[in-house]
Chain A
Amino acid sequence: GAGVSQSPSNKVTEKGKDVELRCDPISGHTALYWYRQSLGQGLEFLIYFQGNSAPDKSGLPSDRFSAERTGGSVSTLTIQRTQQEDSAVYLCASSPGMLSNQPQHFGDGTRLSIL
């Protein structure tokens, strides 16, 4: 399809394990964003990419969280030594990036559960 694709759709892992979440943005979109949605909370910004660089990492909650983007396309969000409070839906969005106030288009997210 032509939308933002995220994988896996669901991930269950044990506390202390590392996880990798993948995002494939809409073709041609240069801007990519990661958000987190916890139960009862609004969407919380994590990180923004323009091309392969990340000019805004201000939302990453701790140094256990990191993200990269290669080839100006696919992005991976990595959480090391997972904790139970990391359980949430992780959403990825992309936008054309040519004009910075264009709408962001979201994938369906990865639902992460930490046992």
Chain B
Amino acid sequence: EDQVTQSPEALRLQEGESSSLNCSYTVSGLRGLFWYRQDPGKGPEFLFTLYSAGEEKEKERLKATLTKKESFLHITAPKPEDSATYLCAVQGGSEKLVFGKGTKLTVNP
């Protein structure tokens, strides 16, 4: 059974304080690992797809990396508007995504 575990559950940072979120996974035949951002009362917003170990993607202050067992979402010099819940999901042998429970990030000014 495909599984995704995200840590920490919650993270508080000061503005400008860089950090990383972790997504550990087990999957039969990874076809894609996806990062989403979710704001309160909204649906998940797509950020990145990673397909193979060693791949990296960047967007503004965010950088996602992938190994054979985990993915990291690095946040460099975060701003208060980066506050959200970040979700990781994997796609294995079927079309569905299997999600972790997310990391709730709060960035204080």
A residues lining the B interface (CB < 8 Å): 4, 31, 33, 35, 40-45, 48, 50, 55-56, 58-59, 91, 93, 100-109
Contacts and interface: CB of A to CB of B under 8 A. Distances in A.
A33 B96 CA distance: 8
Nearest to A47: B96
A100 B101 CA distance: 23
A101 B96 contact: no
Contacts of B42: 108
B98 A45 contact: yes
Contacts of A108: 41-43
Contacts of B89: 43
30 contacts: A4-B43, A31-B95, A33-B95, A33-B97, A40-B101, A42-B87, A42-B99, A42-B102, A43-B44, A44-B99, A45-B96, A48-B94, A48-B95, A50-B95, A55-B95, A56-B94, A91-B44, A100-B31, A100-B95, A101-B31, A101-B51, A102-B49, A103-B46, A104-B34, A104-B97, A106-B43, A106-B44, A106-B46, A107-B43, A108-B41
B43 A101 contact: no
B25 to A, nearest CB: 12
Interface residues of B, number: 25
Interface of B: 4, 31-32, 34, 36, 41-46, 49, 51, 87, 89, 91, 94-102
